[in-house]
Each structure stands twice: as C-alpha cells, then as structure tokens.
Amino acid sequence: MGFLDKAKAAAEQAAAKAKGGVEDVQLKRELGQAYSELGKQAFALVESGTLSHSDLEPTVARIRGLTEKLAEADESTLDESEAPDTNTPSEPA
C-alpha cells in the first residue's frame, strides 16, 4: 500500500469517526430535549394536581421561585420603561 493509499484510508477513517461524533452529539441533544419536554409535562401535571410525589417537590419549588423572580424582573423592566426619562436635560421654556 502506497503513501497516498494510506493517507486516503486514514482520511476516510477520520471522516467516519467525525460523522459518528456528530451523530452522537445530535442524539445527546435530542435526549436533552426529550428530558426537557418530560420535565415541563411533569411540572404541568404537578401544578394541575394530577401528579404528586415528594421527590419532585424540591425541583417544583425551585421552578416556582425562578418563575417568580423572572416575573419580577419583567415587571421592573416594564416599570423602568414607563417611567419618565430624568437623565435628559429639560429644554428651556
């Protein structure tokens, strides 16, 4: 086997390995999305009272707290945008 044949074989192996790596990353991403969907569905079931388990409560409480903080941050952003701008100099009358 000549040098070029060896280089070609090595390149093909590297390409196959890279393709496998990309497929692994895609599968892991899909798995993460599936877990996320499951978590959202489980949270919705807990909120509706359909699902209840003591192991879920710490995470449910954390989600509620984070949701409240996000809502407060959104409200303060809205309040700031509605307030008059006091940083600009007023024009003389």
Taking only the tens place, the pLDDT of each residue in 1-44 is 688 888 888 888 888 888 778 899 999 999 999 999 999 999 99
Are 58 and 46 contacting, i.e. CB atoms less than 8 angstroms apart? no
pLDDT averaged over the chain? 86
Query: Between 60 and 7, where is the model more confident?
Result: 60
Tokens of 73: 């941050």
Q: Dihedral angle at the C-alpha atoms of 53, 56, 60, 62, nearest 10 degrees? A: 140
Torsion region of 79: left, alpha or beta (phi above 0 gives left; psi -120 to 50 gives alpha): alpha
pLDDT at 39: 96
